[in-house]
Amino acid sequence: MDLSNSNTANNLEAAFGGESMANRKYLFFAEVARQLGMGELSKLFKETANQETEHAFAHFRLMHPELVVDDAASLTEEQKKAIASRCLELAIEGETYEYTTMYPEFAEQARTDRDGGALKEFEEQQKESQEHAQMFRKAAHNFGLLTHIENHHARQYTEALNGLNGESAPDKKASGDPATQKWICRQCSMIYDPVTGDPDSGIAPGTPFEAIPDDWHCPICGASKKTFVPYEEVLAA
């Protein structure tokens, strides 16, 4: 579907929002009916909520065709990561909007209206949205780390295959410069690069491995700092 027409795109987004809201509303009604002992009515609301979910999914697929997965088995690992990364990007975008714009504005209005209950709710949701955004950013960062790990594994397997074919292993050496010396986790192969650091763990870019606090842990597997060893890279020809 051609979404170059902005009105159609806006209508799809509005329809997605309406169907999504209906889903949560009907689930709320289902819980109310359950508490009232009206099992059949509760079941009706749940069934309708599921249908509204399918409607919302259909709209969202049109809005984001890049996320549609028809045959996962036919996708490469890079394609799978690209789709998952896009999901994280959209999640981060949504949660960031909530805690930087939506809830602060709602809270300010509640404060003006002297609605203490709403103000408390909006402030709590603002904090929770911020936590969600941080979690999604952490997940996105880890995807990047996993890419380096898999590249490392691929090189190892290539060297092993070449070795079986009688080829000599390439010369490797660890960098002698702390500013560029990478370190690798012996437990999961996560590679720490001082150039990029580990901002999600409070380690700023440009931080040599030796300068990282001793209580720092691998962001992938949680191994301690002492589990890391200098990473030897293939020498340039």
Q: 72 and 160 share a domain?
A: yes
Point out the domain boundary residue: 27, 45, 63. 63
pLDDT at 205: 92
Q: 45 and 130 share a domain?
A: no
Q: Closest by alpha carbon to 212, among 220, 221, 222, 199?
A: 199
pLDDT at 42: 93
Q: 141 and 211 share a domain?
A: no
pLDDT at 44: 92
Point out the domain boundary residue: 63, 85, 110. 63
CATH number of the CATH domain containing 212: 2.20.28.10
Give the pTM. Answer: 0.51
Domain coverage including residue 109:
67-169
Q: 175 and 138 share a domain?
A: no
Q: What backbone phi and psi angles, to 5 degrees, belong to 203?
A: -100, 110
Point out the domain boundary residue: 125, 142, 169. 169
Residue with tokens 């809270």: 107
Q: 114 and 165 share a domain?
A: yes
Q: 120 and 34 share a domain?
A: no
Q: 54 and 104 share a domain?
A: no
pLDDT at 127: 76
> How far apart are the C-alpha atoms of 213 and 197, rounded to whole Å?
12
pLDDT at 6: 73
- The total of structural domains in the chain comes to 3
> How far apart are the C-alpha atoms of 225 and 188, rounded to whole Å?
13
Q: Which residues contact 39 (CB under 8 A, 6 or more apart)?
A: 33
Each residue's pLDDT tens digit in the chain (237 positions)?
555 567 888 888 888 899 999 999 999 999 999 999 999 999 999 999 999 998 899 889 888 999 999 999 999 888 888 888 888 788 878 777 777 777 777 777 877 878 788 777 777 777 776 776 666 666 656 656 666 666 666 666 676 677 777 777 677 777 789 999 999 888 888 889 999 898 888 899 999 999 999 999 988 778 899 999 898 877 665
pLDDT at 77: 84
Q: 165 and 80 share a domain?
A: yes
